[in-house]
Amino acid sequence: MPVTSSKARRAESRDQAPGPVPQRTRLWLDFVNTDTASQPPGGDLLRDFEALLTWLQSQDVVDEERAGGIRRRAVLQPAAAAATLVDARRVRAALRALAERGQQVERVRDDALIEINRVLGRSAGTRRLDPMPGGGFTRIFVPTGDAFAGLMIPIVESAADTLIDKELGRVRRCADPRCHRVFLDGTKNGLRRWCDMGTCGNRAKAARHRARTQGSA
């Protein structure tokens, strides 16, 4: 199945005006940021299969009707649901490595590519155009057969788009050593350092201010 650009799909479907890339607009990076490293201790957002499905719904990856069917299947097939969660975490680990070291380390890119293609190999299904609650339209992938098989496909397609569009060099890990979030730097000069200026950026500014104050005391 050919991989099309989710960047273009999102811009077209939501009528976004051209300009700098908004904060955290790449699905795969948001997915990476669900892990424990990016959350408070013990705060993995994918703590169980239900949490995974809820997160996918929040990102418009799975609609309500399909999510209901998957939940019913999970009750009947708990082992398959648990295996899907394990697989999702495996995908996430490979994508975190890609985000943090993929630009510098060829082996990391190769490993991520293997993982992406492994998931895309499950891509038997159909695509359809659905209206969005707030207006506009979005494309969704509906797998045939196994209800769980296609859940990670939109995630890895997003990562594939980053590679195809040569955006990997713009992927950053937050410069705050206490923060493990990754983001796409959409600034013109490519010098953004913080995942969020309102939190990590302000903490860094406050730390510099304290250091200057103590140094002049």
Domains of the chain with bracketed CATH: 6-190 (1.10.3300.10)
Neighbours of 173 (CB within 10 A): 20
- Least confident range from 75-84, 123-132, 184-193: namely 123-132
Contact predicate 73/148, CB 8 Å: yes
Alpha carbon of 7 to those of 18, 138, 140: distances in Å? 11, 12, 14
Neighbours of 205 (CB within 10 A): 12
Hey, which bits of 9-136 come out as E strands? Answer: 125-131
Judged against a pLDDT cut of 90, whether residue 202 lies above it is answered with no
- According to the model, what pLDDT value does residue 6 have? 45
Give the residue-averaged pLDDT of 150-171: 94
- According to the model, what pLDDT value does residue 205 have? 59
72 compared with 137, residue with greater pLDDT: 72
Neighbours of 63 (CB within 10 A): 17
Q: pLDDT band for 201, please (50, 70, 90 cuts).
A: low
pTM of this structure: 0.76
